Amino acid sequence: MKRKIAAIFAADIAGYSRLVAEDEEQTLRRLASYREVIDDFIARAGGRIFNTAGDAVLAEFPSAVDAVRCAIDIQESLRTRNMAYPPSRQMSFRIGITIGDVVERNGDLLGDGVNIAARLEGLAEVGGICVSRAVHEQVANKLSVQFADIGAQEVKNIPTPVHAYMVAMRREDGSYATPQVKKAASKVAAAPVWMWPLVVAIVSVTAIGVSGFLYNTKLKQTASAAATPAVTPSATPAASVATPGPSPTQMAKAPMVPQNAGAAMAPMPAPSPSAAPMAGKFAADSVPFINERVRSFLAGDYSAAGDYKAFALNVGGFTGSALNQPNEEAARNMAIEQCQKRADAAQSPRRCELYVVGNTIVYAHGKPPMPPQPYFRHDAMTERVFVSKDFPMVREPQKVRLENMFVPAAKSRSVALGPGGQYFMVLGASSAEDAARRSLESCGAIAGVACLVVAIDDNFVVPVPTLFRITGFFNAATNASIVADARGEVVRKLGDAMGWNAVAVGTAGRPGLGLKAADEKAAVTSALADCAKRDSDCHVIALGPFTVGPIN
């Protein structure tokens, strides 16, 4: 036996026994699939699995940084896979990580380090990560990760309290979920029994205030939805779910389905507020993010209903409505609760907001920025089969998500991409045009600028370079690499040119163009040759709608 210091990683499935009891064969198949993902991430991060038992995994890493980075990648990837299942069938892991002195025996590791990692895993939230103070100290200044200090925690079979931190898991909108403390902090010595009600009251009030501030009322809405289920007015027709998302029982008696139940967003910055809130008299044809069936409901049943009524939505396309309520407040609350309940059931990170109360628009944001029509074009020279690994400007976990969700989804489907790497996909729409519009609306609302439709159904509908690394969106009118007096000419010549188009510049910023080429290489060659006529040391800066650089 030998001793060593190692970062210990412990993971297991939340609610595994229930999942097995409900459907043993499916659970075991999915466990094997999920374990492949976990094992692959651990191996790539330099870790080693030293023990497994049922749904549990124990691994060691050479550093805390590697262990935490690996844990985050695993949780993001598994969250993507879980989106394909209803909440009751999702398979989510808890992960605990510590640094400790362990004993190695026949490849297995033993000691307090292993025990503490297992206890930290028990403290973690479903789909979350809990780490010891030693790990927090190692990682805090090395990874772009936020933590919540949950203090000293008493855990089973460990004689002294363990000071723990929750990793604030990143939501899909780029914000961070605030972890909830699962257990009380360590014992308060010699506290009189009569003091405990007061202590609990103070802690509860503080927690409620902080949570309310951080979640901006979302928890309150979720709690009220759970306590008082939304009631659909009897005059409103029932609807069924046609796209992946919440189970049909969750949607029973709903006046409309969350039409983007299969839609998804990549990690992205917070939405940029519109210049001015929407206001004025309600018109169904101007409501963003919704499909045509919901629009028909709004134009028909909603518009015809008397007060009191309200309609709520979120950027992801989830909706809620209330008709014929006793007062305005009841209509507002019901619409918000119904929308938020649907969004939460599908794990949408977006908060629902009131769009219209009565017949007056009260939405706090303007119309989402949109590109000019047509939103996409079919071009035989540039269109090619969609391949997730080639999707531009997103990280590997998001490419995995596209492979798991977009590729197998029902038509019509669309992915819109923002200049900051934001993306939004709409699945199972009534038409390609409807899918494109809705993906652009949601992506634009999140990015704060117009997005670009990159894929429709099985194909990329814009030229996606493979010879260069894509670095962003190309705008010739403002591109600083091109000398100012030449930008207008570049804009004019690019125009609506079909095929592959490339732009090159030299040291003086004089541009060269390769237009309407049959393939990427031909466009590049032509652009470099054109640039060489008027400048030196030319290099390609743009291909199609993207700025590009050399592949590292």
The whole-angstrom distance between residue 48's C-alpha and the CA centroid of its chain comes to 29
Residue 341 lies in a domain: no
Strands 48-53 and 147-153, bridge-based pairing: unpaired
Cβ atoms of 251 and 238 within 8 Å: the answer is: no
Residues 147 and 166: their CA atoms lie apart, in Å, by: 6
Residues 206 and 451: their CA atoms lie apart, in Å, by: 41
Print the SS3 string covering 117-140. Answer: HHHHHHHCCCCCEEEEHHHHHHHC
Residue 482 lies in a domain: yes
Domain match, 418 and 523 both: no
Domain match, 438 and 478 both: no
Strands 511-517 and 500-505, bridge-based pairing: antiparallel
Residue 74 lies in a domain: yes
Res 112: pLDDT: 86
Res 496: pLDDT: 76
Residues 446 and 14: their CA atoms lie apart, in Å, by: 32
Last residue of a domain, one of 425, 460, 495: 460
546 - beta bridge partners? 473, 543
Residue 209 lies in a domain: no
- SS3 of residue 418 by DSSP: coil
Res 132: pLDDT: 93
Last residue of a domain, one of 427, 460, 493: 460
Res 179: pLDDT: 59
Domain limits at 160? 2-169
Cα dihedral sign, 266-269-271-274: negative
519 - beta bridge partners? none
Mark the ranges of the chain whose per-residue pLDDT is less than 50. 173-175, 183-275
Domain match, 89 and 142 both: yes
Return the structure tokens found at 18.
Answer: 């229930």
Domain match, 405 and 540 both: no
- Using only C-alpha atoms, the chain has a radius of gyration, in whole angstroms, of 27
Domain match, 390 and 432 both: yes
Res 364: pLDDT: 86
Domain match, 407 and 507 both: no
Last residue of a domain, one of 411, 443, 460: 460
CA distances in angstroms from 184 to 115, 133, 153, 181, 219, listed in the order given: 20, 17, 7, 7, 20
Res 299: pLDDT: 92
Residues 170 and 166: their CA atoms lie apart, in Å, by: 12
Count structural domains, the chain. Answer: 3
What number of residues does the chain have?
A: 552
Res 156: pLDDT: 82
Residues in contact with 455: Cβ distance below 8 Å, sequence separation at least 6, in sequence order: 386, 391, 406, 413, 414, 415, 461
Res 176: pLDDT: 54
pLDDT tens-place string over residues 154-179? 888 788 889 999 998 765 544 455 55
